[in-house]
Amino acid sequence: MSSGPALRAIGLRKVYGDFAAVKGVDLEVGRGEILGLLGPNGAGKTTTISMMVGLVPPTEGDVLIDGYSVRRDPVKVRARAGLVPDNPGFYDGMTAWNNLWITARLNEVKDESRIDEAISRVGLSGWADVEVGKFSKGMKQRLGIADALLKSPSVLLLDEPTAGLDPGGSDDVLRLVRSLASEEGLAVLMSSHLLHQVEWICDRVAVMNEGRVIAQGTLDQLVGRKYYVEMELDGDIDAAVRSLLPVGKVAVDGRKVTVEAEGDVRRRAVDAALRSGAVPVEVRLRRAGLAEVYRSLLGAGS
């Protein structure tokens, strides 16, 4: 096993005719780490994941999993990468155990105890002999993770793993993913549109747009020192805004005035409002989150 990152994409590019779907993506995921892959529809996330597991051949670049190249050693790469699509496909008329038995045979996993272990790991032991057609979507998603775990991968790739799940089902899946990384050392790449979920469980975040990674890092690195001072004002709002403009970027919603700035500028904002004759009735400080960073990178309408 390579001592470097479990997953590494180098200059990954995919072109269909005249259309470049992925344009030189560089990513790394370490063992025990969860990388959240964000971006709007059409950003290239699913194509990137498909190249990482050898389902789609890259036009340029390469993917290394445990040091093995998807170009030179595709069989070894697929043996080490577990893919969980947004809608895992199973035979509804067969039990969970029998569905995984088929996967085990296709992956030359001969030890049938691995099926029981995988089902247990995702919390479905009591449902092993139940037809999958009777499962909820959240249970099918967990079974999809069990399916990916059968070959004991070092990398787990999840494409929208909580799409269509209720809050309880989403929490179950996310806690499972977090434990697979923290307790078993899997490198996890998870694409999602749900920013609060990515912010909750991911160690680092990469944002894609139009086929490129436009930003990546920890949340602290992406957010920096951006803060919001939110004030409820009594008085002349227009005069207060003019006074606040030197402090930071100002947004107004009725009598609520928000000042965006680098660092904690509460004292300056309150002083500026008072100089205008407005009285701050309430003042709150809020640090920027992933949603603000995402909107800033992609535009306010994203």
Q: Which of 3-7, 151-155, 203-207 is predicted least confidently?
A: 3-7
What local confidence, expressed as pLDDT, does residue 301 receive?
44
Q: Which residue has the higher pLDDT, 21 or 107?
A: 21
pLDDT at 182 exceeding the cut of 70: yes
pLDDT at 216 exceeding the cut of 70: yes
Q: Which residues contact 62 (CB under 8 A, 6 or more apart)?
A: 9, 10, 11, 12, 69, 70, 71
**Tokens representing residue 170 in the block:** 């989403």
What local confidence, expressed as pLDDT, does residue 80 receive?
94
What is the rounded CA–CA span in Å between residue 11 and residue 7? Answer: 13
One-letter amino acid identity for 149?
A: L
* For the chain, percent of residues with pLDDT exceeding 70: 98
Model confidence pLDDT, tens digit, residues 29-83: 999 999 999 999 999 999 999 999 999 999 999 999 999 999 999 999 999 999 9
> Half-sphere exposure of residue 130, counting CA atoms within 13 Å on the CB side?
13
Model confidence pLDDT, tens digit, residues 98-116: 999 999 999 889 999 999 9
What local confidence, expressed as pLDDT, does residue 298 receive?
87
What local confidence, expressed as pLDDT, does residue 3 receive?
65
Q: Which of 159-168, 243-252, 276-285 is predicted least confidently?
A: 159-168
What is the rounded CA–CA span in Å between residue 233 and residue 252? Answer: 10
Q: What is the mean pLDDT of the chain?
A: 93
What is the rounded CA–CA span in Å between residue 264 and residue 286? Answer: 9
Mean predicted confidence (pLDDT) in 85-106 = 94
Compute the residue count for the chain. 302
In terms of Cβ atoms closer than 10 Å to its own Cβ (0-12, 13-18, 19+), residue 153 is buried
Model confidence pLDDT, tens digit, residues 118-154: 999 999 999 999 999 999 999 999 999 999 999 999 9
Q: Which of 109-113, 211-215, 270-274 is predicted least confidently?
A: 109-113
* For the chain, percent of residues with pLDDT exceeding 90: 86
Phi-psi category of residue 277: left, alpha or beta, with phi > 0 → left and psi -120 to 50 → alpha: left
Neighbours of 99 (CB within 10 A): 23
